[in-house]
């Protein structure tokens, strides 16, 4: 009986070796393609965008380095960037490759103009609400005055 089990196991192993190697290569290639689209492609796209931002970087832009330092660009040379950090305006020089994030002055200006527009809308909304509150309070005062005069009139009579 033991001999029968060994013969069955050897026949299964021979059948597995006879599998088509093209199927294995196709599965391997499929996983490499999936890995490329999920991992490598987005990373390369981000790197290209960062390189383009670094090339467009100007004095006055705010940057964040890989190490986490935040400051404004004070000077740009060939491959180096000098930034001013902290309230004491400490100058620190880095390679351009050490820059992780760039917040340009133009982006801040558009954000400020958008903030101003939204704050103006909020102010106008507040003014409208105040007017409505004044109207409502004046209406309630008129109602209260008329009820007081009628109450007084009834008391006097």
Rounded CA Rg of the chain: 37
Structural contact between residues 61 and 52, judged by C-beta atoms closer than 8 angstroms: no
- Smallest CA-to-CA distance from 46 within 98, 100, 94 is with 100
- pLDDT one digit per residue (tens) for the chain, 157 residues: 555 555 655 555 455 566 789 999 999 999 999 999 999 999 999 999 999 999 999 999 999 999 999 999 999 999 999 999 988 889 999 999 999 999 987 765 665 555 665 665 555 555 655 665 666 666 666 655 555 555 455 554 4
* Cβ atoms of 98 and 129 closer than 8 Å: no
Q: Rounded CA gap, 21 and 37, in Å?
A: 25
């Amino acid at each position: 009986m033991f001999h029968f089990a060994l013969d069955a196991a050897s026949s299964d192993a021979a059948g597995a070796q006879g599998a088509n190697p093209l199927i294995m290569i196709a599965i391997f290639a499929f996983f490499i393609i999936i890995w490329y689209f999920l991992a490598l492609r987005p990373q390369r796209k981000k790197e290209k965008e960062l390189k383009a931002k670094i090339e467009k970087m100007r004095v006055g832009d705010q940057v964040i380095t890989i190490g986490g330092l935040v400051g404004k660009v004070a000077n740009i040379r060939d491959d180096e960037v000098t930034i001013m950090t902290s309230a004491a305006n400490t100058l620190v020089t880095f390679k351009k490759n050490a820059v992780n994030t760039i917040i340009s002055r133009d982006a801040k200006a558009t954000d400020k103009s958008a903030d101003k527009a939204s704050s103006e809308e909020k102010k106008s909304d507040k003014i409208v609400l105040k007017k409505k509150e004044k109207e409502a309070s004046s209406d309630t005062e008129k109602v209260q005055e008329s009820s007081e005069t009628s109450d007084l009139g009834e008391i006097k009579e």
